[in-house]
Amino acid sequence: MTDSILFLITLLAFISTNLDDLFILMAFFSKKEFPRRDVVMGQYIGLLLLILISSMAYFFQLFIPNYLIGLLGFIPIIIGVKNLLNLYRDSNSDRIHLNEPKKRFKFMQVALVTFANGGDNIGVYAPIFASLSFAGILQVVLIFMAMTGIWCIVSFKLVENKILGGKIKSYGHIIFPFVLITIGLLIIFRTYIS
């Protein structure tokens, strides 16, 4: 496989499996309690885990049945429900909050959502990795890392956009739990219904 064909395949594989991540990233960037660096770090950690599992998918399919992997859909659902309850509690509370929400380890929530949403990534990446040499795998991983950075920049710029950004920031915290719950349900649906 030539370098240009590999680049095109890698680009198409990334875009097709990560379009939904643009919306997830915008939702995270629009929430004040998620520092930008944590969103970016979480996205990279989640993607690296998906790449690692994809590269070992051949061995995992011998031990872990597909229906167990589908249970990962409950991770974004749980995070979404928690955020929905916090939204409801905050809207019914007139008292001043003296304690800021903990900002530590927010990147883990982003990584978990990215990872849980990555069933299609594993399904697409595993066959690609299985057909490549070590040098080819390294090239694909580098392209994925660069594309992840581009995805983070595009998502952040959309949130900061003067026209779209205000609406995303105004309503993002309300939409965020529903985005996560929907993603979790889609993960479960793709695994068990399709």
Classify residue 136 as exposed, middle or buried by CB count within 10 Å of its CB (0-12, 13-18, 19+).
middle
Residue 95 confidence (pLDDT) above 60: no
For residues 152-177, give the mean pLDDT. Answer: 80
pLDDT for 66: 63
Residue 112 contacts residue 180 (beta carbons within 8 Å): no
Residue 76 contacts residue 181 (beta carbons within 8 Å): yes
Number of domains in the chain: 1
pLDDT for 130: 72
d(CA 27, CA 114): 12
Range of the domain at 161: 3-93+102-192
Residue 45 confidence (pLDDT) above 90: yes
